[in-house]
Amino acid sequence: MGVLFGTDGVRGTANRELGAELAFRLGRAGACVLAREARSKRIVVGRDTRASGEMLEAAVVAGMLSAGIDALLLGVVPTPAVAYLTKALQAAGGVVISASHNPAPDNGIKFFAADGYKLRESAEEAIEGLVLGDMSGIPSPVGAEIGRAIPVPDAGERYMAHALSIGPRDAGGLRIAVDCANGAAYALAPKIFGALGADVIPLGVGPDGLNINDGCGSTKPQLLQETVLAHGADLGFSFDGDADRLIAVDEKGNIVNGDAVILACARYLKARGYLPLDTVVVTVMSNLGLHRALAASGIKSVVTKVGDRYVLEEMLRTGVRLGGEQSGHIIFLDHNTTGDGIVTALFLLRVMQETGRSLGELASDLECYPQLLENVRVYDKERVLKSPLLAAAIREQESRLGGDGRILIRASGTEPLIRVMVEARDPEIMLEVVDELVRVVQAIEGGETAA
């Protein structure tokens, strides 16, 4: 990744690392790169509910218009709606202003290509080169050639119609708690499930610009668990701030994460002959129990690095149509070009309806191995990962686990941390292996365990 772009666009504290001037330059440079090879001179723009979104949207749009590109304003919509509408409206690209599951002071700007997929790294590098370099070559038209800002008042309805075409015909008789994290799905998600006839209990639907992801949403599902139990709901769905991920809760208040969702959907698709190559793509964080359950169903799993970008790249490379992460980013390439929490929830309802099984029954098919993750603060991540001492310790502990567990040690992409993750059928052995590996990492670097 470059100086500006990370794995999911440009992120930072709004009005500090990510201010209006940078947003203007990103809008201007992005318009130039996206429109260079596209027939269209229009780019769609959507955002979540953060207070800073209005400022950044105005700056990004100003940059686009100054380059002679029209901005189609979608307003507050989920990230997957921007991806879908970029292609549906035949735009040159799309822009999302959101920091996903991060707290309200953060924000981000990411781009979609004309086909609705995240930009290739080469395109991001081209934008970054312009932003950090000389932008004098970008056109600055005058008069009638200046771009225009064009509202798209039915953006939400267009995405809603698409999403409803994927789920069951109706969900009448189901009571569903829906936590929208005070984010981008706050208006659309309850409306979508209500349109299916479900009795919807809405949560996180009062955004004030500052409460996005605050004690709610997919990264804090406790509120949803409590609500499901208190109201006797059949299940619950929780989305993050931009609604590209889903964490569910079953009728007993148990969390159902991305691994369980992938298993249920993969088995459903395979049984109907709709799982190309009988394969799914997951990341290194997926539980060993998922791999074993998939294998028992004759389904292969391909493993990538953490990040939905890497899952998508592997899906496109191999022709696999279903992939995702334990964190709830699930990609159904037959239905959208990016992770889509609402589509995932609707597809899960379809699986429940057609199999006649509750969410709890579907989730019970996944026997998860106990998993523990410890973060160790270090000074030199590369030195630790390349240490022969660590390699020897890993081999020794893997031998101890045999075939009943696994070890994953990796560097954090954003913090000076080494993440030590161990899974094992026996939780006591798991704790002992984690303690030993943490001790070795600390011995190499003199670091300390981080919270």
- Among the listed residues 66, 98, 100, 327, the single catalytic one is 100
Nearest to 129 by CA among 37, 243, 35, 2: 2
Query: Which two tokens mark 419?
Result: 């993440």
Query: Residue 253, SS3?
Result: coil
The length of the chain, given as a count of residues: 451
Q: What is the bridge-based pairing of β-strands 93-97 and 70-76?
A: unpaired
Burial-class residue 408 by CB neighbours within 10 Å (0-12, 13-18, 19+): middle
Active-site annotation holds for 100? yes
d(CA 176, CA 170): 13
Cα-to-chain-centroid distance, residue 315 = 15
Compute the distance between CA of residue 237 and CA of residue 257 in angstroms, rounded to an integer: 11
Main-chain dihedrals φ then ψ at residue 340, nearest 5 degrees: -145, 105
Residue among 261, 256, 201 nearest 232 (CA): 201
CA distances to 24, 38, 266 from 362, rounded to whole Å, are 47, 44, 12
Residue 382, SS3? helix
Q: Are 332 and 322 in contact (CB under 8 A)?
A: yes
The DSSP 8-state label assigned to residue 49 in this structure reads S
d(CA 332, CA 221): 23
Distance of alpha carbon 255 from alpha carbon 140, whole angstroms: 52
Beta-sheet strands, E only, within 191-234: 199-203
The Cα 84–Cα 367 span in angstroms is 35
Q: Nearest to residue 128, comparing CAs of 35, 313, 1?
A: 1
What amino acid occupies position 362?
Answer: L
Neighbour-count burial of 91, counting CB atoms closer than 10 A to its CB (0-12 exposed, 13-18 middle, 19+ buried): buried
Positions marked catalytic: 100
